[in-house]
Structure 1
Amino acid sequence: MSRTDERPAAEPHGHGLRLCTWDADSGADVEAWLRGRGDPEFRRWNTPMPWDESFEGARESLRRRAESDAEGKTVAFRITDAESGLTLGQVGLSGIDAYMRRAVVGYWVLPEARGRRVATRALDLAARWTFTELGIHRLELDHVVGHAASCRIAELCGFPAEGIMRGAAFDEGRHDAFRDAHLHARLADDPAPEGI
């Protein structure tokens, strides 16, 4: 059995953060998920398949994500402040391919946590965990062309740009039009970034 088939119970932590599982039965978790995915800046750069327009819709979205996590298709982490436990955002894996040892990572941060390097620190934690605990060799990250903040975060965390993927993301707020995305990737044997 590969390491990607055995999900460790330990929560990644460091850089003043702890990455925890989301709890669809927690009102606070559902509220944070709804606020994060409903934030105008999130919606500017992301168009998820279903929008979470209500508290119950967000709860159902978290339940579906937990089922996907249990099936080994994804891993979703709630980014929290290690000291206070306050939710700061989300970092997660999708497209997990245990055979090819490849996965895709994505993240978002609540408005009040922006500008504090939360995304950078959480991405680094998630990447290190993915390489060591899941045995992934290639971790990909993509973001819509023009999202300069995501580009900087990726490069700070050792994900150099590899090119442009044409028509790889939905256009803002639409499911019938597409826009280009930058592709970044970090390999398990790449040098670890410094100064995170």
Structure 2
Amino acid sequence: MTSILSTQSAIPAGALAAAPQPALLAAGLVLRPWNTTDAPVFFAAYRDPAIQRWHTRRPASEGQVCEWFGGYRRDWAQEKAAHWAVTRDGGEVLGRVALRGMNLDDGVAECAYWVLPASRRAGVASRALSTVSAWALDEAGFHRLELDHSTRNEASCRVAAKSGFVLEGTKRSAAVHADGRHDMHLHARIRGDKQVA
């Protein structure tokens, strides 16, 4: 039996999946859905020690990457998540950004990102995160976006702050990494927050 909401959904069911997942433009970047030709670079990304340090879930093969990409397409169709390749003008992959755990009733989603080593310290992550955030809050209808990262991941903390995500607190011993449990910083950006440059 389906439950009844006492409030109106922030985003009506079917509103996102009614259209293909959009490509988003940022200064010098194109954020687009992943395709099978991206599997080698995606798989290689998870061999990078920094990405491995902060991401415990890793694909075991390029074939599994393609399975993940199929899951990403289903996530969009089911309005659960949206996953983008961060590219230079639609071609060379520089990183990844995603909205996960989409709650259309409350208008809340979680952000995640990583950048390949050669593209770090060039503002790629913050531009991609700012672009996805603007789309989610201004066009898609989300009200609140959250992200968390290990308190030891100072680079991710800088990206969050630069992208307008306010540090709200620390979740103690909230995630398991390869070297044990980590405290996690919780950041959030809500509709109406001051835009970032």
The 5-angstrom pairing of residues 43-62 of structure 1 reads 43-48=52-57, 51-62=58-69
- Structure 1 range deviating more: 134-143 or 177-186: 177-186
* Greater RCO (CA < 8 Å, at least 6 residues apart): 1
Tell me the CA shift for residue 6 of structure 1. 2.4
Q: Which letter maps to 1:40?
A: P
Residue aligning to 1:113: 119
TM-score by length of 2: 0.87
The 5-angstrom pairing of residues 85-164 of structure 1 reads 85-164=91-170
Tell me, yes or no, if the aligned pair for 2:149 and 2:186 is still in contact at 8 Å: yes
Residue aligning to 1:11: 23
Tell me the CA shift for residue 65 of structure 1. 2.2
> Aligned equivalents of 1:65 and 1:166: distance in 2?
30
What's the % identity of the aligned pairs? 34
What secondary structure sits across from 1:192 in the alignment? coil
Which one of the candidate residues 181, 185, 189 is aligned to 1:182?
185
- Structure 1 range deviating more: 90-99 or 6-15: 6-15
Tell me the CA shift for residue 172 of structure 1. 2.0
Structure (1 or 2) with the larger CA radius of gyration: 2
Matched residues, number: 185
Tell me the CA shift for residue 3 of structure 1. 5.5
**Residues 192 and 3 (structure 1 numbering): CA distance in 2 closer, same or farther, change over 3 Å?**
farther
Tell me, yes or no, if the aligned pair for 2:53 and 2:177 is still in contact at 8 Å: no
> Aligned equivalents of 2:91 and 2:55: distance in 1?
26
**Residues 94 and 153 (structure 1 numbering): CA distance in 2 closer, same or farther, change over 3 Å?**
same
Tell me the CA shift for residue 188 of structure 1. 0.9
Residue aligning to 1:64: 71
> Aligned equivalents of 2:145 and 2:34: distance in 1?
22
> Aligned equivalents of 2:28 and 2:187: distance in 1?
25
Tell me the CA shift for residue 164 of structure 1. 0.6
Q: Deviations over 1:161-184 (max 9, x none)?
A: 1101123222227xxx53211000
CA RMSD of aligned residues (A): 1.7
Residue aligning to 2:194: 191
Tell me the CA shift for residue 186 of structure 1. 0.4
